């Protein structure tokens, strides 16, 4: 049984071995071994990448899949294929992965920042309508921290206005959003296989689209005689078994999040990012936890190091773009209060622990409870 004293104050750690590591998948080992034995790992084209693209197409129900070197490059290729040019406005959430903001600038375009929906801290459908009214030529729409964007409303608004959508599904591969695979709602969808993702080869990404003419435009951008910024055959070898096990792992993570949510609901000042649509299936790369510091009794700057002292991989969320970037680099339709709130109060739990079951969820909740019970002592020590 764990101590009632937080580890930050000298008590026993909830996880003495430290933060959970990604689960070892023997399927990856066997796939690498096979690739070693037949030397296909060293080939330009031994069929592994093509096979991976076919598997992604089947799993995500997307007829056109192009792999590439990163999700960030995927967003850039998608925007170029939609005709984004220097000077164009491109909308995105004010609370967002910074690479998407920088990609817009790399094209000479200008970001138009949209506030969050207060109900789930995802990009606001009403805000997207305002961005289109302001002249945005395309929207980047990201599903973040286990939450889902209202894609039906956004697609209706953008389609009627002729505005292209890049759906960033890098944080929720294999999820189902309002009845469709995440990444297949927009003109383009983008996946990431970066080093900490749910499906990873250290680097890599994929571009999805249902439209053959857009697939051809994207394909031509990725060709320079041979394929530019290609995914390697050995990366595809590593990814294939993970993709095959993704649905099962996502179900495990969903079950853990359900257990953790029930336990955290008893702690004042903490609220998980809530599913927006009952029929959805979620994928959790970073589980978002919304903090109300007045109710909890501590600010995030004290909570995060105290939770980390318990051996739990909790961190702060993104820096809101309107706070962290010069105002000359973006536009908006007005104040962005929910994004500012997320900037100050979003905390994210890294996904490996979500595969460890009920006891680990109880330990995480207990750690938050201990820290709340000793808020004054933690604040005093942190400030000393």
pLDDT, tens digit (0-9, with 9 covering 90-100), for 203-251: 999 999 999 999 999 999 999 888 899 999 999 999 999 999 999 999 9
For each of the domains in the chain, give its residue range(s) and CATH number, in order of start.
26-244 (3.40.640.10), 246-383 (3.90.1150.10)
Contact in structure between 171 and 144 (CB atoms under 8 Å)? yes
**Helices 233-244 and 48-60, packing angle to 10 deg:** 30
Find residue 167's DSSP bridge partners: 141, 189
pLDDT in tens, the chain (384 residues): 457 999 999 999 999 999 999 988 999 999 999 999 999 999 999 999 999 999 999 999 999 999 999 999 999 999 999 999 999 999 999 999 999 999 999 999 999 999 999 999 999 999 999 999 999 999 999 999 999 999 999 999 999 999 999 999 999 999 999 999 999 999 999 999 999 999 999 999 999 999 999 999 999 999 988 889 999 999 999 999 999 999 999 999 999 999 999 999 999 999 998 766 777 899 999 999 999 999 999 999 999 999 999 999 999 999 999 999 999 999 999 999 999 999 999 999 999 999 999 999 999 999 999 999 999 999 999 998
Look up residue 116 and give its two tokens: 């969050």
Strand order in the sheet with 346-350: 270-272, 286-291, 346-350, 314-316
Contact in structure between 253 and 351 (CB atoms under 8 Å)? yes
pLDDT in tens, 314-344: 999 999 999 999 999 999 999 999 999 999 9
Those residues whose C-beta lies under 8 Å from the C-beta of residue 139, and which sit 6 or more positions away, are: 90, 91, 92, 128, 131, 132, 154, 158, 163, 164, 165, 166
Contact in structure between 118 and 144 (CB atoms under 8 Å)? no
Look up residue 1 and give its two tokens: 């049984």
- Alpha carbon separation from 383 to 43, 191, 205, 292, 301 (Å, rounded): 56, 41, 43, 21, 11
Q: What is the pLDDT of residue 275?
A: 66
Q: What is the pLDDT of residue 30?
A: 97
Taking the C-alpha atoms of residue 285 and residue 317, their distance in angstroms, rounded to an integer, is 12
In this structure, the strands spanning 270-272 and 286-291 are: antiparallel
Taking the C-alpha atoms of residue 181 and residue 280, their distance in angstroms, rounded to an integer, is 10
Q: What is the pLDDT of residue 1?
A: 46
Which of 104, 139, 105, 99 is closest to 122 using CA atoms? 139
Contact in structure between 145 and 273 (CB atoms under 8 Å)? yes
In this structure, the strands spanning 226-227 and 223-224 are: antiparallel
Q: Is the pTM of this model over 0.85?
A: yes
Q: Residue by residue, what is the 3-state secondary structure of the chain?
A: CCCCCCHHHCCCCCCCCCCCCCCCCHHHHHHHHHHHHHCHHHCCCCCHHHHHHHHHHHHHCCCEEEEECEHHHHHHHHHHHCCCCCCCEEEEECCCCHHHHHHHHHCCCEEEEECECCCCCCECHHHHHHHHHCCEEEEEEECCCCCCCCHHHHHHHHHHHCCEEEEECCCCCCCEECCEECCCCCCEEEEECCCCCCCCCCCEEEEEECCHHHHHHHHHHCEECEECCCCCHHHHHHHHHHHHCHHHHHHHHHHHHHHHHHHHCCCCCEEECCCCCCCCECCCCEEEEEECHHHHCCCHHHHHHHHHCCCCCEEECCCCHHHHCCHHHCEECCCCHHHHHHHHHEEEEEHHHHHCCHHHHHHHHHHHHHHHHCHHHHHHHHHC
Q: What is the pLDDT of residue 2?
A: 52
């Amino acid at each position: 049984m764990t101590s009632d004293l937080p580890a930050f104050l000298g008590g026993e750690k909830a996880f003495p071995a430290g933060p959970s590591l990604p689960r070892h998948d023997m399927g990856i080992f066997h796939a690498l071994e096979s690739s070693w034995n037949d030397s296909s790992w060293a080939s330009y084209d031994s069929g592994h990448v093509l096979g991976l693209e076919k598997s992604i197409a089947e799993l995500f129900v997307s007829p056109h899949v192009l792999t590439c070197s990163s999700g960030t490059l995927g967003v850039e290729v998608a925007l170029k294929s939609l005709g984004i040019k220097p000077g164009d406005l491109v909308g995105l959430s004010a609370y967002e992965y910074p690479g998407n903001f920088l990609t817009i600038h790399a094209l000479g375009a200008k970001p138009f920042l949209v506030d969050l929906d207060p109900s789930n801290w995802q990009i606001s459908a009403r805000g997207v309508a305002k961005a289109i009214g302001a002249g945005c030529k395309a929207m980047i729409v990201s599903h973040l921290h286990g939450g889902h964007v209202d894609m039906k409303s956004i697609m209706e608004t953008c389609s009627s206005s002729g505005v292209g959508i890049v759906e960033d599904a890098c944080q929720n591969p294999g999820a189902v959003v309002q009845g469709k695979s995440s990444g297949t709602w927009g003109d383009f969808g983008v996946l990431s296989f970066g080093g900490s993702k749910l499906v990873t080869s250290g680097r890599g990404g994929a571009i999805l689209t249902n439209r053959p003419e857009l697939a051809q435009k994207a394909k031509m951008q990725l060709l320079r005689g041979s394929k530019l910024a290609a995914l390697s055959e050995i990366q595809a070898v590593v990814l294939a078994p993970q993709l095959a096990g993704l649905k099962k792992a996502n179900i495990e993570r969903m079950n853990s999040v359900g257990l953790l949510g029930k336990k955290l609901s008893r702690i004042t000042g903490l609220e998980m990012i809530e599913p927006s649509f009952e029929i959805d299936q979620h994928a959790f790369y970073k589980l978002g936890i919304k903090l109300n510091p007045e109710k909890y009794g501590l600010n995030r700057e004290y909570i995060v190091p105290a939770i980390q002292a318990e051996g739990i991989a909790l961190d702060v969320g993104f820096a809101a773009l309107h706070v962290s970037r010069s105002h000359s680099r973006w536009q908006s339709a007005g104040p962005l209060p929910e994004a500012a709130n997320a900037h100050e109060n979003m905390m994210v739990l890294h996904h490996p622990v979500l595969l460890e079951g009920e006891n680990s969820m109880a330990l995480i909740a207990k750690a938050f409870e201990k820290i709340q019970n000793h808020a004054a002592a933690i604040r005093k020590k942190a400030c000393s």
